[in-house]
């Protein structure tokens, strides 16, 4: 296999361009000294030897001495230069061998191609991945390995590389191995350019992600199946809602009838517990059936209107006594001037009812305020409380099923954790809902609804506001 590999191209410095610097540090001083020697030695010789014959002899000896010194120095420099070149060559061979070892033994598939896409070298991991023998791969183009539907996915990257807008890219694509099986790969490609900046070759790092893609496909299929089953369950519960509520209603009636008969003290105690259990079961069943109606997408919001005053009075009638039982202040604030809200009155009442009930449940002192005000062409409805508050990290979790703050022991007296999840589902049909809260200080839930353009009947107009207090 190794004899089929094309040696890796290792970019190395040009020795001729790197070595003159140390040589020049010797040659320049020597040339300077030589020039001074030639100029000064003639004057010295003429001064010391007035006879022309002697001058000729000394000049000849001086020349031979200069040649001998220069030759020795050049020999030393040449030997030093060759030694340094040998060291550089050895280092380059070691580096090339090291990189070749990394290339050949890497667990990740590595392949190189020329500028036309023809495969020029590859490691064993790449060969095993695609299943071809070495000779076949050396005759192949990268397109021969690519799934026909994925050949075009890299065209844009290649055009950008040729236009010198990028040097590398990463893409997930499909290969076809030797047996025609699909391989999903994570491919990282880097362009190698020559000294002019033109593309000389490409290096590709190939990671087989077939198992991951299979797991993703199975996960998506399982998720789709679970969602379909959940929708089917919700639709069944929504369709059977009336049939499921009838037995519960009958049990409640029988329990009330039993409580009105003559009972002993022990029987009254048991009857009381039975009534509480039935009420808890009814609340749970109603909440689950309501959730199923919204999840099954069978609930629809009607386009009608409700007067702000009427909405406030309904809330007062339903919850003022509940607040009074906990000695909480319960206030309603709405414009005295008639204001009609364009929405589904029943769904809005259910949404606000869950918010108010939840506020009363989590407030031990202080009170609750429900305000309805005008903001442009919108009605702004807020539910304030002075309860335990909600930590910032839990603001997104409170609308999830069964999520409750401060009820890790799942005390049924604190509810089931379905109230706000129902609120979020109703809000999807009506409007967005926002929550602001400070732990230990309380919370406010806020929603906006459009106002009706015209009131349904003539209503007295006043600039004041009316407030009721329980």
CATH number at residue 253: 1.10.287.130
Report the pLDDT averaged over residues 289-294.
65
Predicted pLDDT at 466: 40
Residue (of 220, 219, 134, 209) closest to 178 by Cα position: 134
Confidence of residue 21 (pLDDT cuts 50, 70, 90): low
Q: Is 20 in the same domain as 135?
A: no
Model-level pTM?
0.45
Are 169 and 145 within one domain? yes
Q: Is the pLDDT of residue 37 over 60?
A: yes
**Which of 80-89, 175-184, 229-238, 342-351 has the least mean pLDDT?**
229-238
Q: Which residues contact 293 (CB under 8 A, 6 or more apart)?
A: 234, 237, 238, 241, 299
How far apart are alpha carbons 119 and 363 in whole angstroms?
Answer: 73
- Indicate the SS3 state at residue 63: helix
Q: What integer pLDDT is reported at residue 24 of this predicted model?
A: 63
385 pLDDT above the threshold of 90: yes
Question: Does the structure show a pLDDT above 80 at 340?
Answer: yes
What's the confidence (pLDDT) of residue 190? 93
Indicate whether 90 and 38 sit together in one domain: yes
**For range 79-86, the mean pLDDT:** 82
Answer with the residue of higher pLDDT: 16 or 323. 323
Do 100 and 117 lie in a common domain?
Answer: no
Domain count, the chain: 4
State the pLDDT at residue 201: 92
Which has more pLDDT, 456 or 66?
Answer: 66
Is 362 a residue whose pLDDT tops 60? yes
- Sequence length of the chain is 470
Pair (260, 353) in one structural domain: no
Task: Please state the three-class secondary structure of 68-88 as a single string.
Answer: HHHHHHHHHHHHHHHHHHHHH
- Bigger pLDDT: 276 vs 293: 276
Q: What is the mean pLDDT of residues 451-468?
A: 52
pLDDT tens digit sequence for 57-81: 777 777 777 777 777 777 877 888 7
Higher pLDDT, 135 or 105: 135
CA 326 to chain CA mean position, Å: 46
Helix (H) or strand (E) holding 414: none
Measure Cα distances from 117 to 198, 202, 450 in Å. Answer: 15, 8, 62
As a whole number, mean pLDDT of residues 367-377 equals 91
Report how far residue 106's alpha carbon sits from residue 7's, in angstroms, rounded to the nearest whole number: 16
Residue 457 has a pLDDT of 57
User: Mean pLDDT throughout 217-227?
Assistant: 86
Confidence of residue 1 (pLDDT cuts 50, 70, 90): very low
Region 141-166: mean pLDDT is 88
Last residue of a domain, one of 105, 127, 147: 105
Domain boundary among 105, 136, 167: 105
Beta bridge partners of 332: 370, 468
Q: Which long-range contacts (CB under 8 A, 24 or more apart) does 322-326 make?
A: 322/357, 322/360, 323/360, 323/367, 323/368, 323/470, 324/470, 326/360, 326/363, 326/364
Q: Which of 151, 141, 203, 202 is nearest to 174 (CA)?
A: 151
Residues 133 and 249 placed together within one structural domain of the fold: no
Residue 142: pLDDT above 50? yes
CATH number at residue 155: 3.30.450.20
pLDDT at 8: 44
d(CA 283, CA 317): 20
> Is the pLDDT score of 87 beyond 50?
yes
371 plus 392 within the same structural domain = yes
H/E element, 394? none
Point out the domain boundary residue: 84, 105, 126: 105
Round to whole Å and give the CA distance between 320 and 469: 9
When pLDDT is cut at 50, 70 and 90, the band that residue 96 belongs to is: confident
Q: Say whether both 232 and 324 belong to one domain.
A: no
The pLDDT value given to residue 10: 43
Say if residue 284's pLDDT is above 90. Answer: no
| pLDDT single digits (tens) 232-282 | 666 666 666 666 667 777 887 878 888 888 888 888 888 887 887 777 677
Mean pLDDT, rounded, of the chain: 79
- The first and second tokens of residue 7, run together, are 């040696």
Domain identity same for 332 and 461? yes
- DSSP3 helix / strand / coil % (the chain, rounded to 5): 55, 20, 25
Q: What integer is the mean pLDDT of 359-373?
A: 91
Q: Same structural domain for residues 340 and 366?
A: yes
Whole-number Å distance between alpha carbons of 410 and 432: 29
Domain of residue 280, residue span: 216-295
- Here the CATH number for the domain that contains residue 337 is 3.30.565.10
pLDDT at 361: 87
What three-state secondary structure class fits 10?
Answer: coil
- Considering the domain architecture, whether residues 160 and 229 belong to the same structural domain is answered as no
pLDDT confidence band for 297 (50 / 70 / 90): low
Asked if residue 101 and residue 52 are part of one domain, the reply reads: yes
Q: Which of 404-408, 418-422, 453-457 has the lowest mean pLDDT?
A: 404-408
């Amino acid at each position: 296999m190794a004899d089929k590999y094309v040696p890796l191209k290792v970019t190395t410095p040009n020795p001729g361009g790197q070595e003159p610097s140390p040589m020049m540090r010797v040659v320049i001083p020597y040339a300077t000294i030589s020039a001074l020697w030639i100029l000064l030695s003639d004057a010295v010789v003429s001064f010391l030897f007035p006879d022309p014959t002697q001058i000729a002899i000394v000049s000849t000896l001086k020349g031979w001495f200069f040649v001998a010194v220069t030759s020795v120095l050049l020999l030393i420099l040449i030997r030093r230069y060759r030694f340094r070149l040998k060291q550089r060559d050895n280092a380059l061979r070691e580096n090339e061998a090291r990189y070749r070892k990394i290339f050949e033994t890497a667990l990740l598939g590595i392949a190189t191609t020329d500028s036309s896409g023809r495969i020029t070298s590859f490691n064993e991991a790449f060969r095993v991945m695609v299943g071809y023998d070495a000779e076949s791969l050396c005759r192949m183009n990268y397109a021969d390995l690519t799934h026909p539907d994925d050949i075009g996915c890299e065209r844009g990257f290649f055009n950008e590389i040729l236009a010198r807008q990028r040097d590398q890219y990463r893409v997930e694509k499909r290969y076809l191995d030797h047996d025609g099986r699909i391989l999903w790969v994570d491919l990282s490609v880097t362009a190698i350019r020559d000294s002019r900046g033109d593309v000389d070759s490409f290096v590709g790092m190939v990671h087989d992600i077939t198992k991951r893609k299979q797991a993703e496909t199975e996960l998506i299929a399982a998720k789709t199946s679970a969602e379909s089953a959940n929708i089917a369950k919700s639709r069944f519960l929504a369709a059977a809602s009336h049939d499921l509520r009838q037995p519960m209603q009958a049990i409640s009636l029988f329990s009330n009838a039993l409580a009105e008969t003559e009972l002993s003290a022990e029987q009254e105690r048991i009857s009381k517990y039975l009534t509480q259990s039935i009420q808890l079961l009814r609340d749970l069943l109603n909440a689950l059936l309501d959730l199923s109606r919204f999840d099954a997408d069978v609930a629809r919001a009607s386009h009608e209107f409700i007067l702000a005053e009427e909405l406030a009075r309904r809330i007062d009638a339903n919850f003022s006594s509940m607040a009074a039982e906990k000695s909480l202040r319960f206030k309603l604030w709405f414009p005295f001037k008639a204001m009609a809200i364009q929405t589904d009155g029943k769904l809005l009442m259910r949404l606000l009812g869950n918010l108010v009930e939840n506020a009363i449940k989590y407030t031990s002192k202080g009170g609750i305020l429900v305000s309805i005000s005008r903001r442009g062409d919108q009605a702004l409805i807020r539910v304030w409380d002075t309860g335990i508050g909600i930590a910032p990290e839990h603001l997104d979790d409170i609308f999830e099923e069964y999520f409750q703050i401060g009820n890790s022991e799942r005390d049924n007296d604190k509810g089931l954790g379905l109230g706000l999840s129902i609120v979020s589902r109703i809000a999807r049909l009506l409007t967005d809902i926002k929550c602001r809260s400070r732990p230990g200080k309380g919370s406010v839930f806020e929603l906006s609804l459009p106002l009706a353009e015209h009131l349904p009947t003539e209503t007295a107009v006043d600039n004041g506001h009316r407030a009721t207090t329980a």
